[in-house]
Each structure stands twice: as structure tokens, then as C-alpha cells.
Amino acid sequence: MDSEKISQLVDKSVLASPPDLLFKIINSLDSELSSRQIGEIIGHDQSISAQVLKLSNSSFFGFKGNIRTLDRAINILGTKTVRNIAVTTLLFAHTNKIRLWNIDILNFWLHTYLVADITRELSQKVGLDGDEAYIAGLLHDIGRLVLYAQKQEKADIFRRVHTSEDIFQYEEATWGIRSNELSKLLLTKWNIPEDTIKAIAEHSNPENSSMLAKVVHIANEFSSVVTDMYFKSQITYPVFRGLLNEIGMKEEDFTRFTVQIPDITERGQMIMKVMSKQQNTMTLKHRLISRATLITPEPHPLSECLLKLLGFSVEVFSPQEVDNYRHFLNEEEEKRKREFDMLNETSGPTTECQDELNRARAVEFKKPGFFKRLFSKTRLTPEENGGSHIEEVLQVKPINWNPLVIFDKCDPVELERMSAVIYQVLRDPSQIKGHPLPFFFASPDIKTQ
């Protein structure tokens, strides 16, 4: 498709002329407007005002049913939050009736919102303006709405494992332009600030790009894990470390930040539920195995965040807890063996009845009554003569080996469970002793055998 046809494609799109209110709100980012002024801008559109109030009263914000005016919403939630809600609502209301091919409109907007929210939160950690970053995240894929509104055949690329680059290549082969390039053309017509447009155009390839583009790129990877069940990240561990270095963030600080991302995802689902008037939140992942055990010495493991985004319920244990539990089980097994041997030594000559009695006693010795002590603590017990006795009970946290077991920054151990699928997190392949995760950052290919 030549440049003239691409220009015509943009001009015919519903996005060629977005609401004036959207521009007023976006332009207000450059000025310190009072809460009253922001309220006046948003209040000109009653439907948007009502939607902002509805979102403000959602249970996620903790003020359900208490916010009845825009002024109160702004005073409680803050000017920036209400402004971002308004921009999101405006764009969604303007485009949610567009018929898209090969992609789902609600899933598109969930992905977009998550990128915007993660971009804002991460930008604030590295010294960027959170509001401007939010707008960049919210508009980063806007060109897709133009391309995928064009009638097209079902493409197999969307139903098999793919990277972001695979999708861009599909777009280029189909229309002669990538969606990020089309976003740049569209937003230039909107007179969006140049720095924001540049970050959006560069976010797909963050090498030699602006810091904001790098942050949008990282946010896009996380959001894609949630909303695209066939997504394969291209971020390897060395690339990941390079990105963090370029945005000036330590790895431990970033992994601590990722603890928020599952909550951001929950917030995004709730906001989509309100905006789309759905009764239930969207179900994002369907897995035969839904529970995972994660063994790691890390206090804030990135792998825990990614497993949760992939749809797993995760139980986390340290290698020391595993060692303690295995040592305790071995000691209990030895204790039962000694007791059983003592029983045989003191029972004398056996008859058929005596053998039956010994077998019954042996079963009693093997009963797992010791599990009652796993959660006990050292405690004082009263003596009959008025004194007290200290009862020492070993505290051991039992390990629940779920069907999927991940070892991150530690070596795998032999499991008592035969049917578990075991992985190590892939960082340095030469150091991996077990079966590695196929990708460092995220994978739809965590096999559930």
C-alpha cells in the first residue's frame, strides 16, 4: 500500500476526528489546572462524567457509592487519576463499536489500559512524568484500530505462538505498514506532543530509543503475557538487564516493583468490566494445571509475578524451607523405623495372632500424626505441682508440591510427587541442571504434562 492509500486509510477512520474533549484533557497535561477547571472540562460531556463517576465508585478504589460529583471524585482520587480515567473512557467510548478482524476489541482495550497503567507506575519509579507516560501507554497501539478495522481473512499467526515482531511482519505484508508507524501518522494529525509520538513509534524496538519508549516496551511485554495467550517474549535475560540499566533501575528494585503488576491487572479487568458493562470480569487464561510451587531465595521473585500473569495460583518457598522440610521428614521416617524395630525386638516369639497385633501397631506408628506439630510453637505447659514445663516442638513449614514446580536461582531437588512438571528459570543456560523454562521473561509454553 503506497503512502497515498495509507493516508486515505487514516482519513476514513473513525479515529481521524476524535472528540474535542479528548484534546482538551490531553492538552491539560501541560498545565497545572485546578480541580475545578478539570471538573469543568470533563463535565461538558454528561455521558463521560457519568462513566468517570461510575469508575470512581468501583470497589477497587474503596469508595463504592460515596462519590456523587466530579469535584468529590477529584478531591478523593486526585486530579491526575480522574483525568486518566476520563481519557481512557473517552477513547473506549469512541472506538468500542469498531468491528475488528483477527483481534477482539475488549481484549485490545484491556491490553492498552494495562500498558498505560504499568507505564505510569514504572515511569514514576525512574523519574519520568507519570501522566505523560500514561498517555503514551494508552496510545501506543492506536494504529492497530485502523489496520484491523479493514476486512481480512483469519490469520493463523494469531492462533499460534508469536512474537511482537511476527505480528509487525504480518501487518507489513498485509498493508505495507506496521501499526506503530501508523500510530505515528495518526497521532501527528492529532498534534500529540512530539516526545510522546516518538516513544510510541520506537516502543517496539527499544534499542537506541528514548527512556519512555523503553518503559512502554517493558509494560507492553507484561501486558501481552496477560492478554495474548500465544505471546512469546523476545526479552532474554541479557536484554532485560540492559533495559534496566538504560532506564537507571536496579534489578532488585524492579522485581520489587513487579509485585504490583498482578494488582494492576486486577484493576484493569475491573475497569474493563465497568466500561463494557459486562457482568463478569474477563477470563484470560485457561489451563489444565492451575497451581504452581515456586522455590526461590529471592524475596520478590519476578518469576512469581509472571506465573500469576500466566494464570497460575503460586505457592512460594525458600530453598531453606525445602531443606528443613525434607530433613524433618527423614528424621520422622527414621524415628518410625526405630520404633517399629523396637516393637519387633520386644514382642518375643510370634504366633499368627501376635503377627496381626504387630502389624496393627506398626500401622499406628506410621500414622502421620506428626503433621499436627508442623505448625506448633515452643510453649509452656503447666505442671501438676505448680511449676511449668517448656515443650520444644520443631517448626517446619510443609511443602506442597503442585503439578507445576519452578526452581528459580536454585538447583532442583528430587520430589516426593511423581507427576510434577519441573523447570528451572532460564538465565544462564550453562548453569541449568534441570529442564529450563523455554524463555527467560515469559512463556506460553509452560507445558502441563
pLDDT digits (tens, 9 = 90+) for 378-406: 444 555 555 555 444 456 788 889 988 88
- pLDDT the model gives residue 41: 83
- pLDDT the model gives residue 448: 43
Break the chain into its structural domains and give their ranges: 3-281
- Whole-number Cα distances in Å, 287 to 66, 171, 221, 354, 404: 39, 30, 21, 52, 12
168 backbone φψ class: left, alpha, beta (φ>0; ψ -120 to 50):
alpha
- Largest interatomic CA distance in the chain: 102
What does the pLDDT average to over 406-417?
Answer: 84
State the Cα angle at 32 between 31 and 36, rounded to 5°.
Answer: 115
pLDDT at 193 > cutoff 70: yes
SS3 track for 196-215: HHHHHHHCCCCCCCCHHHHH
pLDDT at 145 > cutoff 50: yes
Percent of the chain residues topping a pLDDT of 90: 34
- Per-range mean pLDDT, top range of 263-272, 379-388, 435-444: 263-272
Asked if 82 and 52 count as a contact pair (C-beta separation under 8 A), the reply is yes
Asked if 111 and 221 count as a contact pair (C-beta separation under 8 A), the reply is no
Counting Cβ atoms within 10 Å, is residue 271 exposed (0-12), middle (13-18) or buried (19+)? buried
Handedness of CA 303, 307, 309, 313 (dihedral sign): negative
Query: β-pairing, 421-424 with 404-407?
Result: parallel
Q: What is the mean pLDDT of the chain?
A: 81
Provide the pLDDT confidence category of residue 260 given band limits of 50, 70 and 90: very high
State how far the Cα of 218 lies from the Cα of 246, in Å rounded to an integer: 12
pLDDT digits (tens, 9 = 90+) for 32-74: 667 777 788 888 888 888 888 887 777 666 666 678 888 888 8
Selected from 1.10.3210.10, 3.40.718.10, 3.20.190.10, 1.10.1370.20, the CATH number assigned to the domain covering 3-281 reads 1.10.3210.10
State the Cα angle at 111 between 105 and 114, rounded to 5°.
Answer: 140
* Residue from 150, 258, 129, 245 nearest 196 by CA: 129
* Residue from 1, 407, 406 nearest 176 by CA: 1
Counting Cβ atoms within 10 Å, is residue 27 exposed (0-12), middle (13-18) or buried (19+)? middle
Provide the pLDDT confidence category of residue 287 given band limits of 50, 70 and 90: low
* Residue from 245, 247, 170 nearest 203 by CA: 247
DSSP assignments along 128-164, one per residue: --HHHHHHHHHHTTHHHHHHTTS-----GGGGS-B-H
Q: Global pTM? A: 0.82
Contacts 24+ apart (CB under 8 A), 312-315: 312/287, 312/404, 315/291, 315/400, 315/402
State how far the Cα of 440 lies from the Cα of 426, in Å rounded to an integer: 5
* Residue from 90, 20, 109 nearest 50 by CA: 90
Q: What are 292's three cell numbers?
A: 504452581
- pLDDT the model gives residue 116: 96
H helices, E strands: number in the chain? 19, 6
State the Cα angle at 19 between 13 and 25, rounded to 5°.
Answer: 130
pLDDT digits (tens, 9 = 90+) for 63-114: 666 788 888 888 877 888 888 888 888 899 888 888 999 999 999 999 999 9
* Residue from 228, 216, 18, 6 nearest 128 by CA: 216
State how far the Cα of 331 lies from the Cα of 126, in Å rounded to an integer: 50
* Phi/psi of residue 293, nearest 5 degrees: -110, 130
- Per-range mean pLDDT, top range of 173-177, 188-192, 382-386, 404-408: 173-177
- Whole-number Cα distances in Å, 253 to 35, 51, 57, 290: 33, 35, 32, 28
What does the pLDDT average to over 168-175?
Answer: 94
